[in-house]
Amino acid sequence: MNQQIVSNSIQEINHYNRVLEGNKRYVAKKLSEDPNYFKTLSKGQSPKYLLIGCSDSRAPPNELTETDPGEIFIHRNIANLVIPTDLNLNCVIQYAVEHLHIHNIVVMGHTCCGGVKAAMTQDSVGGLLDLWLNQIKLVYEKHADLIESFVDENDKINCLSQLNVRAQVMNIWKNPIVQKAWQKGNPVMVHGWLFRVETGYIEELLIDQHTPEEMCKVYALKFKLESEKQLSKHVSPAGSPKNNAKKRFLNMQRKLIEHINQLKENNIIDQDVETKEIGGFIESSKDL
Ligand SMILES: [Zn+2]
């Protein structure tokens, strides 16, 4: 028994060392291609894509798309879920959209997804995991008839994987950070991909771009943008231009009433003149 444990431990250590050795080979290869590769990389990033993928070790975004470090901003979790209250993911989306100015967000699911498969069963996989997978069960519940129309079990899983990507794309549409970006005129597009593990190909799912018609209108938030906030800052508080204008208006109104009363006292005003005076006052107040 002890012999077996020692043997297993040696295997684990060897494997672990192999991973670190792999890094050394990676560095050597990159430097042989470009001696300044890592110096350049250290200067900063300007990725064009945010990819939200599954943590599954078979679905590494950079390898699958032949992209280099610095090209894709990546967030991964079990079954590529976009949960509205996920602080981690929301920070990633906000940083990607507002600071990295990324215009393309991709949700990438994959076939043979263990998370999706687990969500389709009644077997518990543990408290937190069950809670997490509930989000996929919601998608299943909505499309149960379609999913169950497939005979093959893998087809059912892959169908739910695809529907799950669509559901997560819609969750991004509903995300306040993305909604705000749209209102500011930032054309953030959200794409849905399904990576087919059995072929290696990525299938682009046809989801209407930027036209979330399926989305209930209450999700389309109306934000007070910075420029409007600045404007209201200058026009509403005490002492602000708008307030001064109001003061000027009240002063002028008071002066006008005094002036009309004086004319009346001197019997040099009739109703027509009064109306004319007031009309002139209103005209002169338009620029306030
Ligand atoms: Zn997965």
pLDDT digits (tens, 9 = 90+) for 85-96: 999 999 999 999
Residue 84 C-alpha to ligand 1 middle, in angstroms? Answer: 19
Ligand-binding annotation for 234, yes or no, is: no
**Both structure tokens of 190:** 């959200």
Q: 142 vs 101, 146, 160, 180, 227, CA distance in Å?
A: 34, 9, 10, 28, 41
Q: Supply the pLDDT for residue 215.
A: 72
pLDDT digits (tens, 9 = 90+) for 20-53: 999 999 999 999 999 999 999 999 999 999 999 9
Ligand-binding annotation for 54, yes or no, is: yes
Residue 15 C-alpha to ligand 1 middle, in angstroms? Answer: 24
Residue 174 C-alpha to ligand 1 middle, in angstroms? Answer: 23
Q: Supply the pLDDT for residue 37.
A: 97
Over residues 46-66, the mean pLDDT reads 98
> Does the active-site annotation cover 110?
yes
- Catalytic one of 75, 113, 159, 191: 113
> Does the active-site annotation cover 54?
yes
pTM of this prediction exceeds 0.85: no
Percentage, residues of the chain above pLDDT 70: 76
Residue 162 C-alpha to ligand 1 middle, in angstroms? Answer: 11
Query: Picking from 27-36, 174-183, 265-274, which range would have the lowest pLDDT averaged per residue?
Result: 265-274
Using the structure block, give the residue that is written with the tokens 């590529």.
80
SS3 string, 171-227, reads HHHHCHHHHHHHHCCCCCEEEEEEECCCCCCEEEECCCCCCCCCCCHHHCCCCCCHH
pLDDT digits (tens, 9 = 90+) for 70-84: 999 999 999 999 999
Ligand-binding annotation for 113, yes or no, is: yes
Residue 18 C-alpha to ligand 1 middle, in angstroms? Answer: 25
| pLDDT higher than threshold 50 for residue 125 | yes
Q: Supply the pLDDT for residue 286.
A: 47
Ligand-binding annotation for 56, yes or no, is: yes
DSSP structural state of residue 100: S
- Catalytic one of 15, 18, 25, 56: 56
| pLDDT higher than threshold 50 for residue 288 | no
Please report which confidence band the pLDDT of residue 239 belongs to, taking 50, 70 and 90 as the band edges: very low
Q: Angle at Cα 62 formed by Cα 58 and Cα 68, nearest 5°?
A: 155
Q: Exposed e or buried b for every residue in 120-138, given b needs 16+ CB within 10 A?
A: beeeeeeeeeeebbebbee
- Catalytic one of 75, 110, 166, 191: 110
**Both structure tokens of 117:** 């498969």
> Does the active-site annotation cover 113?
yes
- Catalytic one of 15, 34, 54, 210: 54
CA distance linking residue 78 with residue 120, whole number of Å: 14
> Does the active-site annotation cover 130?
no
